[in-house]
A and B are shown apart, each in its own frame.
Chain A
Amino acid sequence: AQSVTQLGSHVSVSEGALVLLRCNYSSSVPPYLFWYVQYPNQGLQLLLKYTTGATLVKGINGFEAEFKKSETSFHLTKPSAHMSDAAEYFCAVLETSGSRLTFGEGTQLTVNP
């Protein structure tokens, strides 16, 4: 079965600082990987996804993530945090059989002025 681990339920950065949100997955085969963002009282919005091909994936709002098979990781980064980035971020994995999307428990990002 697939599983996703997000290291750090809360991450706090200063405005303009690097954002790094960690995600590790377990899978017997290379999966599809996703990052979603959830703003308060809203549904989830897709930030970016990795399916095949280039391992560095660029998403919306300046975020990017790199798939590292050897480390079973898919960490999310943004060079310079903005106040509007404050939200909860979820990493998710989909088996290539397409059976089910499994989410991590989320990381709450706080951006301090």
Chain B
Amino acid sequence: EAGVAQSPRYKIIEKRQSVAFWCNPISGHATLYWYQQILGQGPKLLIQFQNNGVVDDSQLPKDRFSAERLKGVDSTLKIQPAKLEDSAVYLCASSYSGFYNEQFFGPGTRLTVL
């Protein structure tokens, strides 16, 4: 069974530039999550999708971050414009349905903002 795929693995941009991350969850998983993991900290949930609907985006900085999951499968997370403090690893995870099922994590995208 293929795992959660993410691309790119690494990205370096300058502040005020835009960046997008892509995630393809495990086939059949209805729930998709984006986490931000700042160096030295645990992952923090940014947004949770159930199929193509948003369940929780309370911790997403909506003035600069956006995410979509149009067909209920893969998802894109965008930052526009990026700030220095956005430097982090962005993890995508998926589960069969909801939090009570195990979340499977992708390898993450390491973003460096200069």
| Chain A contacts to B: CB under 8 angstroms | 4, 9, 32, 41-46, 49, 51, 90, 92, 94, 98-101, 103-106
Contact = CB atoms under 8 A, between A and B. Distances in A.
A103 B93 contact: no
B91 to A, nearest CB: 6
Nearest to B91: A43
A103 B43 contact: yes
B4 interface: yes
11 contacts: A42-B107, A43-B93, A44-B93, A44-B105, A46-B102, A49-B102, A51-B100, A92-B42, A100-B99, A103-B43, A106-B40
A111 B99 CA distance: 32
B107 to A, nearest CB: 5
Contact of B105 (A41, A43, A51): A43
B107 A105 contact: no
B15 to A, nearest CB: 25
Given A43-B107, A98-B99, A101-B99, 15 more contacts: A41-B108, A43-B4, A43-B93, A43-B106, A46-B102, A94-B99, A94-B100, A100-B45, A100-B99, A103-B42, A105-B40, A105-B41, A105-B42, A106-B40, A106-B42
